[in-house]
Amino acid sequence: MENLIIASGNKGKIKEAQEIFEEFKVIPMSSMGISIDVEEDQETFAGNAIKKAETIAKALNGEKCIADDSGIEIEALDGFPGVRTKRWFEGTDRERNLKLIEKMKGYSKDNRKIKFVTAIALSDGEKTICELGVIEGYVAEEVRGENGFGFDEIFELEDGRTLAELSQEEKNSISARKIAMEKIKSKLFN
């Protein structure tokens, strides 16, 4: 079984990758003794994911590496915060979410459209493929739900529930990361 190194220590991401890429032995890069911190300085999610995957694959002498970058884009704010999703505000996820709700005060539901975008890149240091997964919804008017992290508690779906109000199974079935990984897998094996 071929190794697939994942540029993450996040247990949820590792588990998801193991479920989708069952043809590979998915190994966190920390288990390979790699602790490279790749600066996310590209203009797009895809650019950051590609940079991470290629950098780590080259450091591992051509082992296949999978990396991601993701974040939210709010339509009425011209795609803000975009690639700076985790870096535009210093503070906890909750503090960041409350700040976004404050920024959206007075906007009607139609003007509260939000996208969650995940770019997944797979590289062996020479060849790289990258795919995007996107889910769409609205910025909620208040934080709701306990089953999530990041922006889940303010990301409202068409049915009125936030991602943090979904069961783990429901959330996994619509995951932007899963969508992108499935696209990568179909390119690898078709």
Q: State the sign of the Cα–Cα–Cα–Cα dihedral 111, 112, 113, 114.
A: positive
110 noted as active-site residue: no
Contact 42, 104 (CB under 8 A): no
Catalytic one among 37, 41, 68, 69? 69
Place of tokens 């700076």: 84
Kindly tell me the burial class for residue 155, based on how many C-beta atoms sit within 10 Å of its own C-beta (0-12, 13-18, 19 or more): buried
- Cα 6 from Cα 21, distance rounded (Å): 11
Give me the active site residues, please.
Answer: 69
